[in-house]
């Protein structure tokens, strides 16, 4: 009987060690740190205007990917809606979430306003995104978050048919 218990315990230890190795393999490494910090982040356009469509939508996706690449942030999943951005990103522990969101929103605003704005200089500051954001940690439910972000894309197909009025000024 005790031999059987021992073999069951050994099997449990092996399963636990295997799960732990898989978890560590999913993690990333810094010089003295092994980490896995994933966040679901959502922010909206100023006044919830439906301005993210067509070439601007592709451009914003490219801008955010480049900005994340510069900081060493991995984008797990992402989607640009008509009036908001969904991201599931892995942020290294050397950065705070607020710093990264401020960086992404601020730099993307500067680039978008420079490329698409009518004024080349604006000494009062640019505003493309609203002030706040939503953030949630992603743990074991990472697949649910990915699925939710993917489903946002299917919900947006109806809104993509939206035609803005000709006199609608983005900035």
Cα distance between residue 130 and residue 44, in whole Å: 6
Strands in 74-80's sheet, in edge-to-edge order, are 74-80, 84-90, 38-44, 134-138
- For the chain, the structural domain boundaries read 1-34, 37-159
Q: Mind telling me the catalytic residues?
A: 148
Cα distance between residue 167 and residue 11, in whole Å: 69
Q: 54 in the Ramachandran plot: left (φ > 0), alpha (ψ -120 to 50) or beta? A: left
DSSP helix/strand/coil, 76: strand
Query: Length of the chain in residues, anyone?
Result: 171
Tens of pLDDT, residues 4-36 = 555 556 556 555 545 544 444 467 777 777 888
Closest among 138, 120, 116, 145 to 52, alpha carbons compared: 116
Whole-number pLDDT of residue 24: 45
CATH number, domain 37-159, options 3.40.830.10, 3.30.70.1290, 3.30.70.270, 3.30.70.260: 3.30.70.1290
Cα distance between residue 14 and residue 30, in whole Å: 27
Per-residue pLDDT of the chain in tens (171 residues, 90 and over written 9): 555 555 556 556 555 545 544 444 467 777 777 888 899 999 999 888 888 888 889 999 999 999 999 999 999 999 998 899 999 999 999 999 999 999 999 999 988 888 877 766 554 567 889 999 999 998 877 888 888 888 876 766 555 555 555 555 555
Query: If residue 102 lies in a helix (H) or strand (E), which one and from where to where?
Result: helix 97-116
Closest among 140, 116, 141 to 128, alpha carbons compared: 116
């Amino acid at each position: 009987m005790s031999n059987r218990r021992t073999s069951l315990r050994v099997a449990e230890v092996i399963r636990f060690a295997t799960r732990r190795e898989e978890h560590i393999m999913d993690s990333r490494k810094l010089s003295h740190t092994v980490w896995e910090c994933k966040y679901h982040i959502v922010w909206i356009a100023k006044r919830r205007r439906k301005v993210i469509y067509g070439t601007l939508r592709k451009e914003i996706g490219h801008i955010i990917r480049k900005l994340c690449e510069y900081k060493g942030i991995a984008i797990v999943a992402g989607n640009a809606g008509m009036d908001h951005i969904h991201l599931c990103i892995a942020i290294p522990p050397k950065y705070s979430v607020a710093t990264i969101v401020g960086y992404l929103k601020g730099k993307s605003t500067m680039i978008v306003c420079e490329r698409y704005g009518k004024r080349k200089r604006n000494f009062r500051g640019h505003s493309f995104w609203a002030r706040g954001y939503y953030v949630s940690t992603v743990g074991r439910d990472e697949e649910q978050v990915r699925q939710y972000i993917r489903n946002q894309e299917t919900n947006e197909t109806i809104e993509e048919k939206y035609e803005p009025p000709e006199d609608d000024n983005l900035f």
